[in-house]
Structure 1
Amino acid sequence: MAQIAALMLDDVDLGNRRLTIAGRARPLDDLTLELMVEWLDHRRRRWPSTADLHLLINSQTASTTSRAGNHWVSAPMRGQDAALERLRVDRQLEEALTHCTSPKSSGSMRRPRCATRTPHNPCWNRPLNSTFDEICSTWTHREGNHGRVTSTEAAAIALQDHAALWSMGETRASDVVNAACDALVAGLDTPGLRILAACTRAEADYDVHDLLPAALDELGLAFYPVGSEAGQEAAARALARRMLAGELAPREFTFRIHQRHGHELPLTERLAELDDEYDILDHSDRTVDQVDAEVTAEARRLAAHLTAPAEPTDSPS
């Protein structure tokens, strides 16, 4: 609230649809932009001669150069059914649901229980015994096949995979947000996951870096620092699951592994060698099908290593 109260007129860039809060430029969506224009017009007509350069002013501060108090800024929210976080989530959750579930996959669009469930309340629907096919189905779901996330474990592992790939530069921040949406729809629910899933595509590149570690921690999942060997291995396993789900051809899979890691990562050294074999098939007695089969076997070896997420635990009171 203090950051909102401290906003200056110079922090607003209507032409580029940006608002700078605490030194970070944020994109303005259509609704916020419309309200911003209306407020600036009201401010100019109500206090045309004010010397106060703060964005938010009132009758008391207009004759000074001081910012409005936190109490005044937060007053419109007091007594309302929804807090600021819930308004933000609700404003963007329709977009999340649009990309996370399909009318073909169930009789109705089920709204995640993010507004009603107690924070950190464990929501795993069954023991951690999902089959590998269930894990792979979460990848095809994202690509428009309208598959159904079949368990909270599968959704958690898909989120973990997207996080690992993002940390290694293999996927976009918006893909991580989409995976967080899927996790909500599947039944996972923590405060950090809600906030991550509520990011718009425009906000993802700015916010995922800050929001992802906490969201993963609440779910008992790992956040891998950029460049770490554990992160490289996790990303390689995630790519293997993508290949087995049909998103990558075996040749593309080995090429990406070889290009990223060369022969330096022990876990994927055989895949790098197989990528070399593709290049010399014209001078070899092996066929493409034979190399593809060995790549698939290597992918299954990597993908079978699943780190089961721990159940979220209650926060200390």
Structure 2
Amino acid sequence: MNTHPNPTAPWPRFAVLGAGAVGGYYGGLLARAGVPVVLIGRPAFVAAVQAQGGLRLHTATFDACIPVAVASDAQAAAGADVVLVCVKSGDTEAAGAALRPHLGADTVVLSLQNGVDNAQRLARVLGRPVVPVVVYVAAGVEAPGYVRHHGRGELVLAPFAGAERVQAALAHAEVPTSVSTQVPQALWSKLVVNCAYNALSAIAARPYGWLWAQPGVPALLDQVVQECVAVAAAEGIALDAAALHTEVERIAHSMATQLSSTARDLLRGHPTEIDHLNGHVVARAHAHGMSAPVNQALTTLVHVLQRARAEAAA
């Protein structure tokens, strides 16, 4: 069934910059639905997709190799109506610089990234507005060109001109979306949950359910949440602390077997996003003359582990 708002008009052309777990998942769904899309990723990703005849996307309802255009250069975004930026937070400025020469005057750029400030950072590099998007999906890269979906998948978009057309294309790809003026609050709420689990999962190399069952961990996570809520308030973002405590506990049960993205990055020897998660809370706390000692400790421990792994691999 065609869900296009104007059945006689073509679907918008998408480019996905950063074909990891998030980019691969949404890009794969768009391609599977027949929406024109190109996935821009690392050479190993491109080689794998070309060798196997498509992106392998494994969900609860299908496991398929989806034919899709791929490239390793941001130049492939030229001509796109919509660009989904899905790179790691530490790569935001570099991605923006690579993308900037290839954007059309009317191209819509959406940031589907962790953290709370990527859209602003990207907008500064691009010299144009960027739409912040809250991403609620559990997915992982099993191997180059192979993305596995573990749950959820909805997107919450900040308002922008032309949102209906983008939403229609995503709906056709079976991606639930909504538009909200509360995206800053939602990004901060997601950041708090990430701060609770990402670093600790990486330090212990254990999933959320195992962590929650350890003595002292629920109280530690409560401290993380309290610090984050206080810093958010100083930033002008009011968060519901009680709801966040409940959400942290819920995730321990609903995503009991999930390793955090920071844990997966550490295990693979990749740079982590810790400075844009717990580290961001610490930096903003210091900017307001505050402290966030638990977040500081978690950030430092991840840095130590990252350095130790790098030295061991050298």
TM-score by length of 2: 0.28
TM-score by length of 1: 0.28
Q: Greater helix share, 1 or 2?
A: 1
Q: Greater strand share, 1 or 2?
A: 2
